[in-house]
């Protein structure tokens, strides 16, 4: 294998001659073999968007040669289009607060720009990773800003899928509105409820999750670009400082603005915690819903079986005909993972010291995973489960008729104590509540028909 030699402050290393990355990237690759994975592809694109905006801004400020700037811009466009991602070889979990990721981008862009300017890779006299590609920047403003661009590119996708889920649940709410079933509290019979009401309640919590995530999204729009090392804007021209955030917005299509306090924005990661918390809360709600659907569809012969979930795959390698609720199961597993990620994100944000948080890499790794898995979980939940749910109306009616929970409706008329006696007698004898109340002469049949009408019990009295 042909190689070239590159040097940094640590020493010299042999680099594959066809590689676009350089010595600092390869050293990081050797130091940080942690997950064995590549950095998030959207994050790589976000780095390229920032480098492009920086080149434009430095060129316009008169600090970067126009030919070099154009070469850098061209390479960034190539990366954004999906090229050269294989050259980003640094593990997403890395020491150094993201310096390795930033230098990976700087070296790839520099070497490809050198190539476009008819030079030889590694000849940094033409385009230098630090002096040109990283001009007016620090890892400490590039890395978190790239993370925010990545989050801002993913949240709309989740919001879209959550809206689809809300609409699917509301459709089922309308479809099932005329079906009365027994409500349950603590897995015990409670009072009647319409199946449609249950599904509309699910839609309501999804809408609340959407609003919560939209609010957290706004926190991601404040970036510390221009602050460089600690937020004091060292080595930054006034023109660059004034225009970099606006150029990032214009060139990336993602709306951001420069933080009012760049020092604060450089050292604190609470905005990411807010996003993670919103994702976690949403995941908790989705898992609760998934658990309900598994219980309501349990059986199909020896369980509740009030609803049917779409059959998606064989459920057993030994039991013929068994079909499991695999989609709700995977939604709940995603929730477990997001909850765990949220804890890692919380601890990483808390562990920052003084003017910088060194633990951004693990925070971003977990946050990107939560964003991706939540989007995918909601997508499969809508497409492979919720949209295909059907109701067993006869089963709902059967279980409703067997329950003594309707005795609750008698309390305003005959009191709690007498209602409880009727409920106990119904349980002991298997007779219906209405039959016992009528036999005791407590109320007329006409009154009982009205009071114990299941539909009447599912809405406020007029």
List the one residue out of 130, 108, 109, 111 whose CA is nearest residue 120: 111
Question: Is residue 245 packed enough to be buried (19+ CB in 10 Å), middle (13-18) or exposed (0-12)?
Answer: buried
| Cα dihedral 279, 281, 282, 283 sign | positive
Pairing type for strands 222-223 and 257-258 reads: parallel
| Residue 394 annotated in active site | no
Fill in the DSSP letter of residue 61.
T
Measured CA to CA, the distance from residue 90 to residue 97 in angstroms comes to 13
Helices (H) and strands (E) in the chain, counts: 17, 8
Pairing type for strands 390-391 and 307-308 reads: antiparallel
Cα radius of gyration rounded to whole Å, the chain: 30
Measured CA to CA, the distance from residue 92 to residue 200 in angstroms comes to 41
Measured CA to CA, the distance from residue 462 to residue 448 in angstroms comes to 17
Angle (CA) 412-413-414 rounded to 5° is 105
Residue bearing tokens 């002991």: 428
List the one residue out of 147, 137, 217, 151 whose CA is nearest residue 361: 147
Return all residues near 307 (Cβ < 8 A) that are at least 6 apart.
Answer: 195, 293, 296, 297, 389, 390, 391, 392
What sections of 224-359 are H helices per DSSP? 238-252, 262-267, 270-296, 326-350
199-213: b or e for each residue (b if 16 or more CB lie within 10 Å)? bbebbebbbebbebb
Residue in 9, 316, 317, 387 annotated catalytic: 316
Question: Alpha carbon of 321 to those of 113, 300, 301, 314, 315: distances in Å?
Answer: 60, 11, 13, 7, 8
370-384: b or e for each residue (b if 16 or more CB lie within 10 Å)? bbbbbbebbbbbbeb
Angle (CA) 95-99-105 rounded to 5° is 130
Residue bearing tokens 């917005």: 249
Measured CA to CA, the distance from residue 128 to residue 109 in angstroms comes to 9
Active site amino acids: 316
């Amino acid at each position: 294998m042909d190689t070239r030699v590159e040097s940094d402050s640590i020493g010299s290393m042999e680099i594959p001659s066809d590689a676009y990355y350089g010595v600092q990237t390869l050293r990081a690759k050797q130091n940080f073999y942690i997950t064995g994975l590549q950095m998030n592809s959207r994050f790589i694109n976000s780095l390229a968007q920032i480098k492009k905006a920086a080149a434009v801004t430095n060129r316009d400020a008169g600090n970067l040669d126009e030919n070099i700037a154009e070469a850098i811009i061209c390479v960034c466009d190539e990366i954004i289009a999906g090229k050269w991602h294989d050259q980003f070889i640094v593990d997403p979990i890395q020491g150094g607060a993201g310096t390795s990721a930033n230098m990976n981008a700087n070296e790839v862009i520099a070497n490809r720009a050198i190539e476009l300017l008819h030079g030889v890779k590694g000849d940094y006299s033409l385009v230098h990773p630090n002096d040109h590609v990283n001009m007016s920047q620090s890892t400490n403003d590039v890395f978190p800003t790239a993370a925010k661009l990545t989050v801002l590119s993913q949240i709309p996708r989740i919001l879209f899928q959550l809206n689809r889920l809300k609409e699917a649940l509301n459709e089922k709410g309308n479809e099932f509105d005329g079906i009365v079933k027994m409500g349950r509290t603590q897995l015990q019979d409670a009072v009647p409820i319409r199946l449609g009401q249950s599904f509309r309640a699910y839609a309501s919590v999804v809408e609340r999750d959407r609003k919560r995530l939209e609010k957290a999204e706004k926190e991601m729009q404040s970036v510390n670009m221009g602050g460089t090392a600690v937020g004091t804007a060292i080595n930054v021209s006034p023109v660059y400082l004034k225009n970099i955030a606006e150029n990032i917005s214009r060139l990336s299509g993602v709306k951001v603005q420069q933080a009012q306090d760049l020092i604060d924005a450089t050292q604190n990661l609470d905005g990411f915690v807010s996003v993670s918390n919103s994702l976690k809360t949403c995941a908790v709600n989705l898992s609760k819903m998934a658990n309900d659907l598994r219980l309501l569809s349990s059986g199909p012969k020896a369980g509740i079986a009030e609803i049917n979930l779409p059959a998606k795959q064989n459920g057993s390698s030994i039991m013929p005909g068994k079909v499991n609720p695999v989609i709700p199961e995977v939604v709940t597993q995603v929730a477990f993972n997001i909850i765990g990620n949220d804890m890692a994100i919380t601890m990483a944000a808390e562990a920052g010291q003084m003017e910088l948080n060194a633990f951004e890499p693990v925070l971003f790794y977990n946050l990107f995973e939560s964003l991706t898995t939540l989007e995918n979980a909601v997508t499969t939940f809508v497409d492979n489960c919720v949209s295909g749910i059907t109701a067993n109306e006869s089963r709902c009616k059967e279980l409703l008729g067997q329950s003594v929970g309707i005795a609750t409706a008698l309390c305003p008329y005959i009191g709690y104590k007498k209602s409880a006696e009727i409920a106990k007698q119904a349980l002991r004898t298997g007779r219906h509540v209405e039959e016992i109340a009528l036999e005791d002469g407590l109320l007329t049949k006409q009154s009982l028909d009205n009071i114990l009408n299941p539909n009447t019990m599912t809405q406020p009295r007029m």
